[in-house]
Structures are given as C-alpha cells and as structure tokens.
Structure 1
Amino acid sequence: MLSLTSRLSLLALAVAASSGAHAEQFNRVASFPVSQNLPAANWTQETSPEIITATADGQTLVYSDSPHGGLGFVDIREAEQPKPAGFLALEGEPTSVSALGNLVVTAVNTSESYVKPSGFVALVSPDQMKVINQCELGGQPDSVAVSADKSLVAIAIENERDEDLNDGQIPQLPAGDLVILSVKDGQLDCNSMKRVDMTGLADIAPSDPEPEFVDFNAQGEIVVTLQENNHLVIVDGASGKVINHFSAGSVDLEGIDTEKDGALTFTDSLKSVLREPDAVKWLDNERFVIANEGDYQGGARGFSIFHKSGELLFESGAAFEHEVVRAGHYPDKRSGKKGSEPEGLEVARFGDDTYIFVLSERGSVMGVYRDTGAEPEFVQLLPSGMAPESAIAIPSRGLLASANEKDLVEEGGARAHVMLFKWSDAPAAYPQLISENDTAGNPIGWGALSGLAADDKEPGIVYAVNDSFYKKQPRIFRIDATEHPARITAAIDITREGKTAGKLDLEGIASDGKGGFWLASEGNVDKEVPHAIHHVNAAGEITRTIELPSQLLKHQSRFGAEGIALAGDTLWIAMQRPWGDDPDHHAKLLAYDLKTGQWGAVHYPLEQVSEGWVGLSELELHKDSLYVIERDNQIGEKASIKRLYRIELSALKPRPLGEALPVVSKTLVRDLIPDLKSLNGYITDKVEGFAIDVSGKAYVVTDNDGVDDSSGETLWLKLGTL
C-alpha cells in the first residue's frame, strides 16, 4: 500500500498538472508505406511493421517485419519526408526490437513447432546492416527491452500456446520464462544469461506462465506481463530475483457495446472482466501502466496504472473506448470480443510532461494522455494507420512514430505504414469530426458516413447518413460544422411502421424543405436490398417509398443510387456506375418528377483510368448548379480521381428512359486529392459526401467503412466558399 506521504505527493502532482496551461499537441507529419523498403519486384508482397524503435541519435527508425523475416529501416533525418533505408533479412521471425544506443537488439523466433520452441537474440548495426553477435535463447521469444544504463537486456520467452489445440486452453508446455543478458564490450554476453523461472506464480495456469511483454525502470527493475495468466511480475534485473508478483485483477465495464450486430449501442455492461495485459511501460520507478487487450478469456478494453507494490492506482474502465467511439473509430465487428483492443503502449517525457500513448489495435487510433500522478488527463486521439502494434517516442526531436501492421495488398487496399507525429504548439488537426453524448449520457456511435445535406435555414448545420455497414441502425446524423472538430449533436433512427427500417443502404440525403428528407438507398439483389428512394419526416419515419422502374431494373447492378438532390419538383439521383443499358464510361443521372411520377435521365461522362473503376458518389444542388463528386476506387499512391464537378442546372434536359440520353457537360471545380493529403496520411478511396450550407460554405466527408479493413479515419473537409 502507498504511504500517506506518497498519496499526498500524488495529489499535489495532480493539482499542479490540472492547474497548468498545456497548449502542445501532436500532429501527423508523414506516413511511410514500408513496402518502399522492398525491391521493386517484391513490392506487392505483404509487409507488417510490428515493433518499432529508434536509434539514440533519433535519425533512424527500425521495425520488425515478421512476414519478411527481418528488420526494416527508415531514414527520418527529415521527419516530414521519411525515406527507405533498407532491409536486413534474419534467419527467423523477428518478434521485437529495442534500441541499444545506435545499435538495436532484436528477438527472433526460429521454432520448429509449438512444442519445440527456439529462438535467438541478436545485436544489429543499422549503419552496417549486419548482425554483430547473437545468443541462442532455448525458447520462443516475444518482447525485448534494454535497461536505461544499457548494461542489461531482458527477453520474454513466451513459448506461445497453440490456439487450435484444445480450443487454445492453457497450460500448454513447455513453459516460458524470462531471460536476462549482460552487455559487455559492446556485445551481448551470452555467457551471462540468467533464466528467471516464472512458474508457480499465477493462479490460472501456474505451470505455463506465457510471459508477454517486458520493460525496465531506471533502477534496473523489470516488469513482466503474463497475459493469459492475468498476472504481473517485478524482477530485479541485476540478480534475476522475483521481487513481487500479483494478479492484474478484473474490472466492471459500463456503457459498452457487446454485440457484433451492425449497430453501435453503448448500453451494455460486463462484470469482472480480466484485464489480461499485453504491453507494459514504467511511468517512473514506482508506477507502471498496462494495456488491457486480453488474448485468452478477458480484455478490459482500457488501461490501468499499478504501483509496483501491487496497488491499483488508476483504471480507465470504458473511458478510453468512449473516446474511440466519439471519433468514429469503434470497430463494431469486435464488440462481441474485446472492443477496440488496446494493445501497445509508449511512455515518454516531452517538455515538462510525461505522456502515455495507448494504441487501439482494432480502432486504429492512439490515445494520448498526460500523466498527472493520479488520474491521467486525456489530451487527444491520433490517427495511426491500420492496426497499430507499437510506438516509439523521440523527445529530443519532438517526434513520435507508430508501426501499423495491417497490410491489405492482397485485397487491393491500403499498405502497412510507419507514421510520424510532431509535438508542437499547433492545434490538433485530428479528429475532424466527433460525436457528443446522447440523452442517456452514452457516446453517439457513428461511422461509414455517406451522403450529406445542408440545413435549409441554419448556416453550419449539416446532416449525414450512414450506409449498410450498420444494417441494424440506419441513421441521420445532425452535425454542427461551426466548430473544430465538427460535432455530431444528435442521431435520428430511420424507422418503418415504428420499427428500425431494414433492407436499406443509405448513400444520399437531401432536404425536402419542410423538415424531412429524401434518402437514396443503393440496392443489392444478392442481399435482397431494393434500389429505392425513401422520404422520411423529421422524426426519421419513412412516409413514402419510390422504387426504381422495372424498365431500369432489368439492367441493374449493385452499384446504384449514390447521391440525391431536390430541384423544384424534380429529384435528381446519381447512379454510381454504368448499368447494363449504359455505354462504357457513362453513368446515369436519373430525374423523377414528384408531381407526375415520370422518370427521365441524362448521361454523365466518367473519367477513364487504367486500373480500377470510376463512379459517382454524391449530388448537391446549390443555386443554379448541380455539384457532383466523381472518384476512382483506388487508395494511397494509386488514387488519381477524387474530384468535384459542376453541371449547369439549365443544361439538364432529361429524356424518357429507353430513349437515347443526352450527355451533359461538366466543369471541374476542385481536385480533392490535395485536401485528402492534408492530414499526411494515405489517400482514402471513398470520398462520399458533399454539401453547401445556406451561407455558401462547402463540406466534404469520407467514408471510413465502419473501421473494417480500414484505418477508421474520417476526413471532414471544410472547403470554404467555392
């Protein structure tokens, strides 16, 4: 237990921290796709930066890449323009890396099988791109850490379980342990190896400790997480003696989503959830922080701070996950398991403050907290790229780097990245859109935004719809765009006969001028979702449905209605891509006369690309013009068409369906690619929504695909007056 003096000291630190003014924030300055470290012939192979470190001079980043069996190097002498610095193949699978001055120590798995684990630890020179020396470990290593005085190296020997054997239940032998090595004459001293037995400590599977993560404090003490055993161990690095050990305990969670059901509902609770920590970092010589990912039977979705005596000093509960929710990064597909899954951690001092960086693996975001000595102060969320595994701070340069392991090259998606952030007095650029709490005090869940529509009367008020990713929760969101970040202030559920409306894929929204809305729903015959236009009142109740005519549907594709606009008595609907009766590279703009019920159309000429496809995402009426978003389906460096065009309303002369349709002329208003690069991430494919408010200010929103095979980032772009 902490003494009264210690408690008063912590309280004083908290008061001092809360009373100070903190203007500094972190902002992303660069994104480096690690595929650039591959030879051109191998560029399409999967890569995965997992654990990252930086050399002592702060000029080079080094990351472990398990799929490629080696270490990657990134030149960050110019932080805003990182460059590939090479790749070193190792004879095995690197699991971790840690800096030893301007050298790095890496742990490498060479196991023949789960029951015959093996591995080695190596000292590597980034300058010479070679292994200096290595020591056999006699087991499968996971985390590696170097002491502050650079005299010791600690390696967690996990000897991981086979999750397909007996449903992954432990114990599964052989048991893992902790290995401690000395550094002598600039090399790893293999003869100094100490093995610290960790069996018999935990209650869950005492014969199979499964050490996961290690970290040194300035006194040379090592904290070790035994994740599956939900246990924490403190070891004296010099002697290898276990100083203390204790359970990581459990937590009761309130206001969370526990169902993978296509809806974001944060009204559930769970009792006695085991923390099962993954990463651990010392905050000082007395306290450490753990990320409660869970990998066995728990996963408390947050982070906790312990004193090395075993006393719990702070528990985040659902608070961190709520920040993830508000920023649109919550992964509904993980609700039934571990939610946003905080896995990685970094702790570092910038200026006068110590910061805690909590990495959400599934939410693809980093939470930044200021250590107060008591309850940490939430500072901001950082967009991290897909599946951040680890981060490294370089305070001497005011930099932070994250390693994001997910690579979607086989699916044609975004590549795995290392991302760089800079600490400065500039305001936080991200998130650009967040949600407030609902009337019950729970965060409004959101994501996969598609169409936008401006309020008829109030400047800066915009409405958005989500698409079918949230099939059980179609919604209209009210957004106050007058602030930074813009704020979702309310969510209106779309209902039919008093129940949540099904079989919708909402892609477009337009005000009806009377408090209600017209909604464009993109059909999908394979999922029995009809192509249709729906009218809803201010409460979200569907009052009218207009199905597309059979003459059109006989040529249908799943790429249907994307945008909708109301001009007088005519609804204009943008069809995303050509259907069977359209010429190549032409999509229809449908016209429906609300008075006569007659359909007509014109053809819109699409740009042509050598890879992928081009289609329409949005329609918006403003004054005497229809504005159209036209985009390709490419991501990152392959993206070329993300554009805003304008069509003179007077030039739109629809012809009846079945006749030869006129081709409209379009005028380029804005190339959106520079806007999509403004946050220094990779270019997203889905520019989905566009609106112009009554004051003439324009807004663009991107679709984050519900954080499914996506970084979860939503860009809310304020284009000003066009």
Structure 2
Amino acid sequence: MPIFSLSAPPTPLRLMSAAILAATLLTACGGDHDDEEELTPRTLSMEKIGGYNGGAVGAAEITAFDAASKRLFVVNGANGTVDVLDLAAPATPKLVGTINVSSLGKGVNSVAIHDGLVALAIEADPKTSPGTVAFYNAADLKLVNSVKVGALPDMLTFTPDGRTVLVANEGEPNSYGQAGSVDPEGSISVITVNRGGTPSVATADFRAFNGQEAALRAQGIRIYGPGASAAQDIEPEYIAVSEDGRTAYVTLQENNAVAIVDVATAKVTAIKPLGTKNHNVVGMGLDASDEDGGTNTNSGTPAIKIAPQPVKGMYLPDAIARFTVDGNTYLITANEGDARADWPGFNEETRVRTHCTAGLDPTVFPDAANLILDSNLGRLRITTTPNGGSAGKNAAGQCNELYAFGARSFSIWDSNLTRVYDSGDEFEKNTQSLANVKFNASNDNNDLDARSASKGPEPEGVVVGRFGKKTYAFIGLERVGGVMVYDVSKPSAASYVTYLNTRTATGGDSGPEGLALIPADKSPNGKPLLIVGNETSGTTAILQVNLSY
C-alpha cells in the first residue's frame, strides 16, 4: 500500500531489553493516565496496516471502537447509515452489519461508544427540525432507545464516566431572507443516559445572549448572519470534556469562539473569543496564491511560496481535544476555517481583488498596488463580513484589514482559552515536498497550489493520547491528506514528530474527516491504533502507532 512518511530526526536510543519493550502499553486517550510504572517512549511512528473501502464518496466519516465486541462503527455519509466492521484482525477489517436509521431521521452525523453502548447523532429531514440521538447495543446492534435533541446534531461524545452524552446541535439555517427561510437556534444537549431506563435531556442554549449581540461582537465573537439573533447565529460544532466530566468546551466554528458549559446544570457559563492569527510574522506565514509563479501579475502560474503576509487568520476551529499536564487543563483546536458561502441569501466568501475594488489602504499595506495582484494576495479567499457588518474597509472604500478563513495550523489553549502555542506555517512547510501528492492539492485532485488561496491543508480532526509521561496530538489534514503528529507534553513548546500520508495523487486515502485513537490495552492486536475515516475516498484506514524507546 502506497504511503509517504516523514519523521523528525531520531535522537540517541536508550538501551532496553526486548522484554521491557514488549511489556509497554499505550495508556489512554485524553492524557489522563498517571501510571508511573509505564515506560515513556522516545518517539513514535505510524504505519498503515489495514483498511476498508466503503465504495463511495462519503462512505467513511466519523468512527468509534467498542473493545468488548472488537467492532468498529463507521459513519457512512453516502448511505446515511453506520457500517459495522469486525476489527478483530485489524489488517483485514470485515463488514459484519449496518445500522439503518431511516425510521429516525435522514442520516447519521456522529457516533460515540462507551462500554458497549453506541450513541448516534441523527439529522432530521429537514435539517432545521429537531434531531435525534439513538442508543444501540454494540454486540447485537439492537436499538435501545432514542431521544429528541436540537436541530442538526453534528457531534456527540460521552463524559468519561459514561453517564452523560453531550451533543453539539449546530442549528444551521436553510437560507437567509428567502421565502421559507428557517434559522434554528444552536444548542448543546445534555443527555443523562440512565442505562436500563429512559434517558432524559436538558438543553444548554444561548438565549441568555440574545440582545447582547453588539457586546459579543465587541469581544471578537462573530455574530453576523443576516437578521439572526445570537442564539440563532451561534453554531456549536465539536465538544471536549474535562477529566472530571463537569465542564464541556464547545467550538463555535463560524463564530470563531468556544463556549464553556457546566454539565450538571446544562448551562453555557461563558463564550470565549479566539481572536485572530497574525500571518505577517516569521513562522506564521502561508502560501496565499495559486498563481504565485510570477512577479506582480494577474496571470501567474502555480508555485510554492510560503511567506509572511499582512493577513489576519480567523481560527474557526472544527475539532477540539482536551488533555492535562501537571494537573492543568489544555485544549487543542484543529483550525480548519469555515465560511457561510453556500446559503441562499448570503455569501461571505470572496477574494481580495474582488472585494477590494478600491484597492488596499496604502497606509496599512506597503506596496498596496502590487500586493492586490493575483500573484500576491489577489486570489486569497477572505470574508466580506469579519464581524457583524464590518467590511474591513476605510472611508474611501479601500481595504484596511484582510481576514482569511482558518489558520492552517493547530493551536493549544489553556482552560481560559488563552493561546499558549500555534504550529504556525509548519503544516504547509512539512507538506511542500511530498512524493505522493502535490503541494496544497485538494482532497479531490492532485493540482499544485489548488488550496493555497483557500485554507491550505485544512486541519480538521484532532485526538490526543498519553504514552507514559508524554502526550501526543494527532491532527488530520482534510485537503492534502494524512495525519500530523506533535509532542504536546510541554504545551507552550510543542514539537513536530512525524507525518503519514496514505494517498497517491488522486488515489488511496483522501479527505481525513474523523480520527479515533485505540489504546494498546483495548486494541485487538495489543498495539495502539489510529483509525482514520477518509470522507473523499470513502475509506477507513487502520494505522498502527509504533513506539520507540
């Protein structure tokens, strides 16, 4: 199977007996295990040992594993179902069943498992109506019960004790200002599982923030959907839960913020803005054009040019993961970026040269006349609406601020959502010389620079795992493909470890959507496994994590 792997240079090996090496196990996802007896790896690598082809675009998205039955549950977006794979032999997964939810809704958006209980987030038809969370037995796939939740449940997760399921109800509109427009409120459902009984649902909504839209915008929280209240405009995307299960951290992707939820009371206690990334700093640059193979022109050719640019990147994260170091909570965000670009009645996405028809403000942008050309910033996709009506222009109509989608990176934040680390431009630098795919190709082509003007590699999924005293982050790159690994044991000084990309041009595994880490003590082969659901290729990749001591 074709792969491309790029690892950091090795450091000197410690001498250890084979017996000690064989006894070492991965502890747990989330960085919560404190077993002082467990050995700490020097580094790690990954290899693809197996896979399953769903046979259609969208046939592999989010995955979850049940250790007792050795079954892998794979959201099949192409069919609106869940494929159930026997993972007893990870090198040769076999389809053993399918969960059809057509009687409950349009299709499945997410899956989570705790001790044999499978939870599915099911979208309604239409998506603006309340969704459903259904519970199934992993062993026999029988429906246990179901409950109604908010509109468009996009992601769900169990608390560590398995007693509660949290659901991010995105509440996307079907349009803005059109006949029949519906914009449901975003919310977080808090489901008390009550195994053996009937689940109960409480709702953490954002209605308390209605009327505070101007104050939210002043804090940097994007509230900008035409005619939308705060509760309607806020769109929960992904959830991470604290180690004690009392607090949830929820990405509000389009709003460039994170909500903090008190689980016991099902109440949003705070919304934290994430701010913007300054791409005009060394190490924080980007490749901003797919026509940069020329000098000050509107008819350039593709080229690799990663450099600082006078642009602000809105983080707009998708996935979020939580880990602890020395008793302190940290959060990792995959800064994908997202635009409200496909709604009838509103489109915020444009390009610099299209948006800045009066040019760039020369008092802000040196060499403004050349900078706006396509070989420089002219092709870069930006928002027309940075925050609630502002167009980022001066009184003369010249652009004085440029806001791009996503940060082309992952970031680490403390529990107050103060940023302590950002990977800068390393994703683009570490993917510029791949043997199996061209730089900044998209997930459905192999064109050089295809994504340079629009979010670059587009990090989407992230999971963390604790191995001895080290914590590692695994980040999936939706467009160019593959998984980046960083050592985040020192949150303010995270370091690149390795990268594995298992696509070949337009073949292989493309479009990583969801990542799931199986610790060694729950793995069918006794080795830690990383499961990657690749949406574009419809393939599920089984990666083995190999620890080196």
Report the TM-score range of the alignment, normalised by the length of the smaller protein. 0.5 to 0.7
TM-fit CA distance, 1:379: 1.0
Q: Point out where structure 1 has 5 or more consecutive residues left out of the alignment.
A: 1-19, 36-44, 408-415, 428-722
> CA–CA distance in 2 between the matches of 1:302 and 1:101?
34
Answer yes or no: is 1:22 the counterpart of 2:42.
yes
Assess if the C-alpha contact under 8 Å between 1:248 and 1:277 holds in 2: no
SS at match of 1:256: coil
TM-fit CA distance, 1:226: 0.5
TM-fit CA distance, 1:178: 0.9
1:69 to 76, 80, 85: 80
SS at match of 1:321: helix
Assess if the C-alpha contact under 8 Å between 1:291 and 1:342 holds in 2: yes
- RMSD after superposition: 2.4
- Please name the residue that 1:109 is paired with: 123
Assess if the C-alpha contact under 8 Å between 1:33 and 1:417 holds in 2: yes
> CA–CA distance in 1 between the matches of 2:196 and 2:290?
52
Q: 1:268/1:104 Cα in 2 relative to 1: closer, same or farther (>3 Å)?
A: same
Structure number with larger C-alpha Rg: 1
- Per-residue Cα deviation, 1:395-420 (whole angstroms, up to 9, x for no partner): 1231111000114xxxxxxxx21111
- What one-letter code is carried by the residue in structure 2 that aligns with 1:81? T
Q: Which runs of structure 2 are paired with 1:34-433 in the superposition (5 Å)? A: 34-35=54-55, 46-57=57-68, 59-91=70-102, 92-112=106-126, 116-162=128-174, 165=176, 173-186=183-196, 189-190=199-200, 192-197=201-206, 199-200=209-210, 202-203=216-217, 204-205=222-223, 206-207=230-231, 208-220=233-245, 221-253=247-279, 254-261=284-291, 262-267=302-307, 269-284=309-324, 286-296=329-339, 297=383, 298-327=405-434, 328-331=438-441, 332-374=449-491, 375-384=493-502, 385-395=509-519, 396=521, 397=523, 398-407=528-537, 416-425=538-547
Assess if the C-alpha contact under 8 Å between 1:235 and 1:242 holds in 2: yes
SS at match of 1:87: strand
Q: Point out where structure 2 has 5 or more consecutive residues left out of the alignment.
A: 1-39, 224-229, 292-301, 340-382, 384-404, 442-448, 503-508
- Per-residue Cα deviation, 1:610-663 (whole angstroms, up to 9, x for no partner): xxxxxxxxxxxxxxxxxxxxxxxxxxxxxxxxxxxxxxxxxxxxxxxxxxxxxx
> CA–CA distance in 1 between the matches of 2:258 and 2:69?
31
- Please name the residue that 1:674 is paired with: none
Q: 1:47/1:213 Cα in 2 relative to 1: closer, same or farther (>3 Å)?
A: closer
- Per-residue Cα deviation, 1:108-137 (whole angstroms, up to 9, x for no partner): 001325xx4331001122321232111011
Q: 1:82/1:234 Cα in 2 relative to 1: closer, same or farther (>3 Å)?
A: same
TM-fit CA distance, 1:82: 1.5
Q: Which runs of structure 2 are paired with 1:435-450 in the superposition (5 Å)? A: none
Q: Which runs of structure 2 are paired with 1:593-608 in the superposition (5 Å)? A: none
> CA–CA distance in 2 between the matches of 1:234 and 1:188?
27
- What one-letter code is carried by the residue in structure 1 that aligns with 2:497? V
- Please name the residue that 2:20 is paired with: none
TM-fit CA distance, 1:302: 0.5
Assess if the C-alpha contact under 8 Å between 1:346 and 1:390 holds in 2: no
TM-fit CA distance, 1:153: 0.6
TM-fit CA distance, 1:23: 4.0
> CA–CA distance in 2 between the matches of 1:321 and 1:85?
39
TM-fit CA distance, 1:90: 0.8
TM-fit CA distance, 1:425: 4.2
- Please name the residue that 1:503 is paired with: none
Assess if the C-alpha contact under 8 Å between 1:55 and 1:101 holds in 2: yes
SS at match of 2:238: strand
Q: Which runs of structure 2 are paired with 1:422-571 in the superposition (5 Å)? A: 422-425=544-547
Greater length-normalized contact order (CA 8 Å, ≥ 6 residues apart): 2
Q: 1:382/1:173 Cα in 2 relative to 1: closer, same or farther (>3 Å)?
A: same
> CA–CA distance in 1 between the matches of 2:69 and 2:48?
17
SS at match of 2:151: coil
TM-fit CA distance, 1:209: 0.4
TM-fit CA distance, 1:54: 0.8
- Please name the residue that 1:448 is paired with: none
- Per-residue Cα deviation, 1:321-355 (whole angstroms, up to 9, x for no partner): 22122435532211111111001111122344221
SS at match of 1:320: helix
Q: 1:166/1:265 Cα in 2 relative to 1: closer, same or farther (>3 Å)?
A: farther
TM-fit CA distance, 1:182: 0.5
SS at match of 2:120: strand
- Per-residue Cα deviation, 1:560-592 (whole angstroms, up to 9, x for no partner): xxxxxxxxxxxxxxxxxxxxxxxxxxxxxxxxx
> CA–CA distance in 1 between the matches of 2:131 and 2:314?
30
> CA–CA distance in 2 between the matches of 1:145 and 1:188?
18
- Per-residue Cα deviation, 1:116-166 (whole angstroms, up to 9, x for no partner): 43310011223212321110114211110110000111111111244x757
TM-fit CA distance, 1:84: 1.4
SS at match of 1:159: coil
> CA–CA distance in 2 between the matches of 1:222 and 1:367?
25
TM-fit CA distance, 1:230: 0.3
- Please name the residue that 1:578 is paired with: none
- Per-residue Cα deviation, 1:514-543 (whole angstroms, up to 9, x for no partner): xxxxxxxxxxxxxxxxxxxxxxxxxxxxxx
> CA–CA distance in 2 between the matches of 1:348 and 1:425?
12
- What one-letter code is carried by the residue in structure 2 that aligns with 1:101? D
- Per-residue Cα deviation, 1:50-84 (whole angstroms, up to 9, x for no partner): 11111143721111112201111111111122111
Q: 1:125/1:21 Cα in 2 relative to 1: closer, same or farther (>3 Å)?
A: closer
Aligned residues: 384
> CA–CA distance in 2 between the matches of 1:305 and 1:134?
35
> CA–CA distance in 1 between the matches of 2:482 and 2:462?
12
> CA–CA distance in 1 between the matches of 2:46 and 2:409?
21
- Please name the residue that 1:649 is paired with: none
- Please name the residue that 2:36 is paired with: none
SS at match of 2:309: strand
SS at match of 1:277: coil
> CA–CA distance in 2 between the matches of 1:256 and 1:180?
39
Q: 1:252/1:293 Cα in 2 relative to 1: closer, same or farther (>3 Å)?
A: same
- Please name the residue that 2:23 is paired with: none
Assess if the C-alpha contact under 8 Å between 1:111 and 1:118 holds in 2: no
- What one-letter code is carried by the residue in structure 1 that aligns with 2:183? L
Q: 1:263/1:353 Cα in 2 relative to 1: closer, same or farther (>3 Å)?
A: same
SS at match of 2:430: helix
- What one-letter code is carried by the residue in structure 2 that aligns with 1:154? L
Give the percent of matched residue pairs that are identical in Structure 1 and Structure 2: 27
- What one-letter code is carried by the residue in structure 1 that aligns with 2:133? V
Q: Which moved more, 1:237-246 or 1:292-301?
A: 237-246
Q: 1:154/1:380 Cα in 2 relative to 1: closer, same or farther (>3 Å)?
A: same
> CA–CA distance in 2 between the matches of 1:175 and 1:348?
34
- What one-letter code is carried by the residue in structure 2 that aligns with 1:401? I
> CA–CA distance in 1 between the matches of 2:456 and 2:481?
12
> CA–CA distance in 1 between the matches of 2:268 and 2:478?
31
TM-fit CA distance, 1:213: 0.8
SS at match of 1:68: coil
More strand by share: 1
Assess if the C-alpha contact under 8 Å between 2:172 and 2:183 holds in 1: no
